[in-house]
Amino acid sequence: MVRIIRKTIDVHKKQSISSEYVNLPLLDATTDADIEKHIAKDDAAALFDAVQFAKSNKIDLASKAVNWHNMPIPLHKDAPMPTRNVVLTDQQALMIEELVTSGRYQNASEVLREGLRMLDQREKEDALKLKALQAAVQLGLDDIKAGRFKEFDSKASLRKHLKSVLSKVTTVT
């Protein structure tokens, strides 16, 4: 992937040897449209690379959803952030557009990163809830094993017991 970086160059300062090969007026005249064109070429090259990767690893792109997220990405210290193309529904695209337009987020990437942070947080909370539930189940099983339980022969007797437990709880707090 080609990374385009605009840099302010002091024309009065002697340039390094490699800069004599750079057309400075042309570099300064680069427009946003030029940059978009290069980005589109980079996206096409990335798609081509992904297809080549799939072919070399005998992944059938037509038959099933491909684990594109398992493709190798260099993540060394100075590497740029990895990029992904995602498919959104019209409703999701509209939501992202509204969030960006409102000024709450600067761009779609920020919206998606926030969504991923929220998903990560929810999964951690779910894991903690599951752990607490498993501990409660184990506590119940231990109580049963130790004989600390009550049996009820009717729904009415169970309801009566639950009401008495509930009244104890509400009077204490």
Domain count, the chain: 2
pLDDT in tens, 94-129: 999 999 999 999 999 999 999 999 999 999 999 999
Range of the domain at 28: 1-85
pLDDT in tens, 6-43: 555 555 555 554 445 455 555 555 666 766 776 777 77
pLDDT category at 1 given cuts 50, 70, 90 is very low
Q: Does residue 103 sit in the same domain as residue 63?
A: no
How many whole angstroms separate alpha carbon 92 and alpha carbon 96? 6
Provide the sign of the torsion angle of the four alpha carbons 136, 141, 144, 150, taken in this order: positive
Cβ atoms of 84 and 46 closer than 8 Å: no
Going from the C-alpha of 102 to that of each of 55, 90, 117, the distances in angstroms are: 43, 18, 20
How many whole angstroms separate alpha carbon 90 and alpha carbon 157? 55
Furthest CA-CA distance within the chain: 96
pLDDT in tens, 61-72: 555 554 545 555
Single residue among 57, 85, 113 that ends a domain in this structure = 85
Instruction: Report residue 118 as tokens.
Output: 């929220």
